[in-house]
Structure 1
Amino acid sequence: MPTPIAGIDVLLADPPFWHKHKIALVTNHAAKNKDGIPGRQALLQHQFNIQLLFSPEHGLHVKGADGAFIDDGIDPLTQLPIISLYGKKLQPSADDLKEIDYLLFDIPDVGVRFYTYLWTLSYVLEASATYQIPLIVADRPNPISGNISLSEGPMLDSGCASFIGRWPIPIRHSCTLGELANYFNQKLNLNAPLSVIKIVNYQRNSFQTDWGLPFIPTSPAIQTFESALCYGGLALLEATNISEGRGTPYAFTIAGAPWMDAKATANTFKQLSPNYVRTNNIDFIPTQGKFANQQCYGVQLEIIDKEKYQSVFIGLLLIKIIKDLHPTHFAWENYVTNVNPSGVEHLDKLLGIKNADSLFDLTLSNFITEICTLLNVEKAWQQAIHPYLLY
């Protein structure tokens, strides 16, 4: 399989006419070119006239804790000013853009609705529309595949809109950010002057592990391809008192707590789970987050077939099993972030449906029936997104 060439490398190979104009770059340190050089550095080396940097959640250096306020600063690598879009504001202001001719966006994504880089793009798209400053999205492949048949709902209920899901799409959307930018721009009549630098040699059914490239961590907890693939399901643990593995090398591939009966959880999961995944027992001590420095007992997901793996279904099923097996220990919890300071209704915001916790009060058989219906959005999503697919 050919190695895909990301939009940033397409730009660098043949700098466009606007590269001498004043550019604001929305990026972070995970955005590397094919040689592993930070995109902002490579652009400057190719005489792109970058004036300032905008950074998303986790900051330019991708080290900020999940949900933590990120302040403005100066980039030690380029000496350019950094304006945070995950601090005092989420959208570039008129003052930020008064000397800017072009906006350029280059940030790798993980293909899940509640991963916030997409919504930073949405605010930049709105700023582009408001101030009629051209926005160029340097597109990157979806690491967990662009196969629309692997998309999973629920579709976002607009009543649950937040910074982890502003506009209706499935949890696993199977698109690139360039495709979603086109979709939102036209579907919502934003009328931004938008263009997408397409990926060369991208086969949309491929996964990151097929590209012959190392996985570059996209945020503090997404350090591996496995974490990215499982994230759409096990990030739902954020709304519970179960550790999702932050502060370990296994974030979003494990679930555990000091009180968990790991053996019973694994046995029940084995009886109910599809054959594309299995669990192994794991003991771990997180260095941060829930149960920091405490011994936890839990299960680790082992993906047998990535081309069939349904992350949201598995995450929901695992939470249901743990809740049913540990009725006196399990609890829903608030999840405090910069964009949701109270932390309330976090499960509703993640799943994108109201009163999401009531699903887990159903009997197991009714629960499985209900979530299978909720998650099955492939045909409707394929029909909606098809005109905007670039690959």
Structure 2
Amino acid sequence: MSKTHKISFQPGIESLLQSGIMDGQRMGLVSHLAAVDQRGTTSAQRLHDDVRSTLACLMGPEHGFFGVAAAGDHCQSQRHPDWHIPIHSLYGETRKPRHAWLRKLDLVIVDLQDLGCRPYTYVSTLKLVLEAAAETGTPVTVADRPIPLPRTIDGPLLDPRFESFVSAIPAPMVYGMTPAETALWLQKTMIPSVQLSVAPMQQYTRNLMPIPSAPPFMRPSPSIVSRESALCFPATVCFEGLPHIDHGRQTAMPFQLIGAPWTRAQPLADAMTACNLPGVVFHPHLYSPPNLAPRRPFSGIRITVTDPAVFKPVLTGITILHTLAGLYGRDRVWNRKHLRPDFFDKLLGTDHVRLALLDSTSPTTIAAEWAVGHRTFIKQRSAYLLYKLEKA
């Protein structure tokens, strides 16, 4: 007789299904196809098949419930082709659930695979869901999932002047909280009237990937194709504001590559290696972005995170920018026709980083100015952490 395999880790959807909180409830689910259990079954399928409750509608974030829309593309609401229930878009005509939708529900469940990085807009959607639910008195339960960097606090805090959908919460750019922890923090600091409960993960610590018995990786958005892309996203997302410098979005390694027609792989890799950044190494890498083929391949670099526990992604990203300017000239980086300085500042949540880099301020000096804000945030954040750091 075979022994029953004991699952050591369970995502929040398992806690939710075991809790009985949904029994007899008419539910709406904010989710996508990346939210899966250990067998790869989506949370939407699990809830749809649960006979104790009724899944009345779905709501999809940026990229849509099916996760295929490109970054920034508006998604249309539709009906599920098999279940014949509404799929309301939260990245189209509205980004905040309409009161009319919520008033038809007894409970809203949020189950999103997030990255714990402020520009990754699922946290913005979470905030707006909590706000709308508070306004209608609709209870919300957040089913929790791991994030790539659960211990890491990095990058500038949000300057309120630069609040936007890619910088919607007053936290550092990388804030080291899971979706449920973030929801508890948002309830306490911004949305106290929301009726919130959380479904925590089981047998999870703040140890980093890989997690034993973790669900299979499913892309949470079209360009987060791997765990490695997820780790590098906070380092290179700022290059969305510098479209003349490629960051691999159209390649098989999105957010892991940096290159341009004028970069040279070995000198750039050597210069980045000489910076002695923690938890990351840089390799010379030749590649051809599909939108530029068949032109000469870019001679760039590939980023490899070797120790997520000490990796500082935002520091890494601004160091790459500082090094590019040092090797190839400031104008090559910052004085180009297609530069999007306003969007760069929105992604960083401040204009201070860009202005300091333009002034040739060292990345370590820029990062040192984040320290006071980090200490305050870390103290505040500690009250909402659900999981301990497992010690060796």
- Compute the TM-score of the two structures, normalised by the length of structure 1: 0.90
Matched residue count: 377
2:27 to 19, 23, 30: 23
Secondary structure of 1:167's aligned partner: coil
In the alignment, the residues of structure 1 paired with residue 237 and residue 196 of structure 2 have an alpha-carbon distance, to the nearest angstrom, of 31
Q: Which residue number in structure 2 is paired with residue 62 of structure 1?
A: 67
| Corresponding residue for residue 340 of structure 1 | none
Provide, for residues 227-273 of structure 1, a one-character-per-residue CA deviation record: whole Å limited to 9, x for no partner: 11111111111111211111111111111112212222112112113
Partner of 1:154, secondary structure, is strand
SS of corresponding position for 2:33: coil
Tell me the equivalent position of 1:339: none
The 10-residue stretch of structure 1 (368-377 or 98-107) with the greater mean CA deviation from structure 2: 368-377
What residue in structure 2 maps to residue 257 of structure 1?
A: 260
Structure 1 residue 333, shift from structure 2 partner? 7.2
Distance in 1, matches of 2:83 and 2:384, equals 35
> Is residue 98 of structure 1 aligned with residue 70 of structure 2?
no
Sequence identity (%): 28
The 1:345–1:293 alpha-carbon spacing in structure 2 relative to 1, beyond 3 Å, is farther
The 1:69–1:292 alpha-carbon spacing in structure 2 relative to 1, beyond 3 Å, is farther
The letter of the residue matching 1:379 is: R
Cα separation, 1, equivalents of 2:21 and 2:44: 18
For the residues of structure 2 that align with 1:334 and 1:187, how far apart are their CA atoms?
Answer: 41
The aligned residue for residue 208 of structure 1 is 209
Aligned counterpart for 1:178 among listed residues 177, 180, 196: 180
C-alpha displacement of 1:362: 2.9
Confirm or deny that 1:242 pairs with 2:238. no
Matched, 1:43 2:47: yes
2-side partners of 1:65 and 1:136: how far apart? 28
Structure 1 residues 255 and 387: CA distance shift in structure 2, 3 A: same
Letter in 2 for 1:132: G
Cα distance in 2 for residues equivalent to 1:141 and 1:274:
25
- What 5-or-longer segments of structure 1 have no aligned partner? 337-342
The yes-or-no answer on 1:350 pairing with 2:359 is no
Aligned counterpart in structure 2 of residue 89 of structure 1, from 94, 103, 122: 94
Question: 2:160 maps to which residue?
Answer: 158
Quote the residue 1:372 is aligned against: 368
> What residue identity is the alignment partner of 2:72?
G
Question: CA separation in 2, counterparts of 1:77 and 1:243?
Answer: 40
Superposed, which structure 2 residues align to 1:142-157 within 5 Å?
A: 142-144=147-149, 146-147=150-151, 150-157=152-159
| Aligned-residue offset at 1:373 | 2.6
Contact 1:2 1:201 in 2 (8 A): no
Residue among 51, 76, 85 paired with 1:80: 85
1:362 maps onto 2:364 in alignment: no
Structure 2 unaligned regions, length at least 5:
1-5, 388-392
CA separation of 1:112 and 1:96: change in aligned 2, threshold 3 A? same
> Aligned residue for 1:269?
272
Moved more, 191-200 or 367-376: 367-376
Aligned counterparts of 1:38 and 1:332: Cα–Cα separation in 2: 46
Encode CA deviations 1:270-306: one digit per residue, 9 max, x unaligned. 2113253221111112235xx4764322100122222
> What residue in structure 1 maps to residue 309 of structure 2?
307
Report the residue type matching 1:93 in the other structure. Answer: R
**1:132 is the counterpart of 2:109:** no
Partners of 1:313 and 1:375 within 8 A in 2: no
Which whole-Å CA distance do the structure 2 matches of 1:36 and 1:155 have between them? 36
Q: Is the 8 A contact 1:24 1:54 kept in 2?
A: yes
Answer yes or no: is the 8 Å Cα contact 1:56–1:85 preserved in 2: yes
Q: Is the 8 A contact 2:143 2:199 kept in 1?
A: yes
Instruction: Return the match for 1:226 from 222, 225, 228.
Output: 228
Q: Distance in 1 between matches of 2:305 and 2:119?
A: 22
Question: How far apart in 2 are the matches of 1:334 and 1:26?
Answer: 39
**TM-score normalised per structure 2:** 0.90
> Which segment is superposed worse, 208-217 or 58-67?
208-217
2-structure distance, mates of 1:378, 1:252:
25
The answer to whether the 8 Å contact 1:286/1:293 transfers is: no
